[in-house]
Amino acid sequence: VIQQVLLTAIYSARNEITITTPYLVPSDDLLQAICIASQRGVTVNIIIPLYYDSILVKWASRVFFTELLDAGVKIYQFKNGVLHSKSILIDQELSLIGTVNLDMRSLWLNFEITLVIDDKNIGKKLDYIQHQYISNSKLLDKKHWIMRSLWKKILEKIFYFLSPLL
């Protein structure tokens, strides 16, 4: 159910989507929804940690960066400590806050919960928090990303194949 709620929320976005997640290993459907939203003119911001608590997640999530960046998604890497917040804000009104990571384990295996709040006042408060994260983050530069070394690209692919275990 959570996967369907996320997809519906992302496809319904008109102006802006901001996603905060410590684990970004999305399903194909979720990745496609995020990319399509950006390509149709919705500003899409994803805030992830710069420093991970899992080496597997760090490398597995990186395999998605190229496709996201090519679609126009802005990826911010939070640099001020641990980022474990899980929230999505759609058009500064629809807030999704809970325990769900954007990975297969969270979406299909674990027992997770997400609170959906359709309220502009709550949306403004979540927007403020997410912009605090962004102000303490490093924007991933597409040109710099493309120039990463071959061994990093190989590691990303290897860990991607392990991503169903994450």
Query: What does the pLDDT read at residue 166?
Result: 52
For the entire predicted model, the pTM comes to: 0.89
Q: Best-predicted range by mean pLDDT among 8-17, 77-86, 106-115, 140-149?
A: 8-17
**Tens-place pLDDT, residues 36-84:** 999 999 999 999 999 877 777 777 788 899 999 999 999 999 999 888 8
**Tens-place pLDDT, residues 106-118:** 555 556 678 899 9
Q: What is the DSSP string of 59-125?
A: HHHHTTHHHHHHTT-EEEEE-SS-----EEEETTTEEEEES--EEHHHHHTS---EEEEE-HHHHHH
What residue type is 28 in one-letter code?
D
Query: What does the pLDDT read at residue 108?
Result: 53
**Tens-place pLDDT, residues 114-135:** 889 999 999 999 999 999 999 9
Query: What does the pLDDT read at residue 106?
Result: 56
CA 104 to chain centre: 13
Residue 100 banded pLDDT, cuts 50, 70, 90: confident
pLDDT at 9 over 90: yes
pLDDT at 163 over 70: no
Query: What does the pLDDT read at residue 52?
Result: 76
Residue 162 banded pLDDT, cuts 50, 70, 90: low
pLDDT at 145 over 80: yes
CA 79, CA 81: separation in Å to the nearest integer?
6
pLDDT at 89 over 90: yes
